[in-house]
Amino acid sequence: MSPKRALIFANGQLPDLSAAAALIQPDDLLIAADGGAHTLLALGKTPHAIIGDLDSLLPREASSLQQAGALILRYPPEKDETDLELALQYALQQGCTTIRVVGGLGGRIDQTLANIFLLASPALSATDIRLDDGREEVFLIRSAAILHGSGGDTVSLLPLGSPARGVTTGGLRYPLKDENLWPDRSRGVSNEMTEDEAFVRLSEGILICIHTRKAGNL
């Protein structure tokens, strides 16, 4: 049976390698988007699959990983998709319904924004997908969500593209009650969890939720 949860390691910066390691579960499908293989190697793991143009891996590294059992899916450099987008497509093909992207935050701002926008792909609408580096997670809220964390964690809610209407929250220091958030205003930035759980729901639009775990709450 195909694994239902995939961890995709992108080639971005990680602020805390041990926090990233804690995300891995025993039955996860481990996918490296090109240079993300270096992170998995640093964690003592061999990826099940490596996907991309492999411009971030030396030929001897790719060969060694293939000999260790990794499936290599090589694409030409002149392609329309990023390595991460190709890795997401592969995870869906394997039947994964839960996906965590590690190393998709930090580093180049264009890559980070592209990674966040990928979350809005219609192909992922029924998938529990998040960008998570162990300290910070980013995901989309289309109707409602429960946040699991700790008091003192920071939560920011940003409308994606168009206004988010009817936003109501609970478990946050500054509650919203059937309010609207606008893309050109910063109203939803830097709220704070007051409990171990918080909820967000909205009636229209999509919210980008950025949950930053407070040091000591990892």
Write out pLDDT tens, residues 30-83.
999 999 999 999 999 999 999 999 888 888 898 899 999 999 999 998 888 999
Class of domain 141-212: mainly beta
Contact by Cβ (8 Å): 218, 14: no
Which pLDDT score is estimated for 59?
87
> Which of 6-45 are b and which e, b meaning 16 or more Cβ less than 10 Å from the residue's Cβ?
bbbbbbbebeeeebbbebeeeebbbbbbbbbbbbbbebeb
User: What's this model's pTM, rounded to 2 decimal places?
Assistant: 0.91
Instruction: Summarize pLDDT for 129-168 with one digit per residue, the tens.
Output: 999 999 999 999 999 999 999 999 999 999 999 999 999 9
Q: Where are the alpha helices (DSSP H) in 107-157?
A: 109-118
Asked if 192 and 134 count as a contact pair (C-beta separation under 8 A), the reply is: no
- Residue 185 CA to residue 32 CA, distance in Å, equals 36
Q: How many helices (H) and strands (E) does the chain have?
A: 5, 14
Superfamily for domain range 5-134: Thiamin pyrophosphokinase, catalytic domain (3.40.50.10240)
More reliable by pLDDT, 108 or 145: 145
Domain range annotation of the chain? 5-134, 141-212
Whether pLDDT at 3 is above 80: no
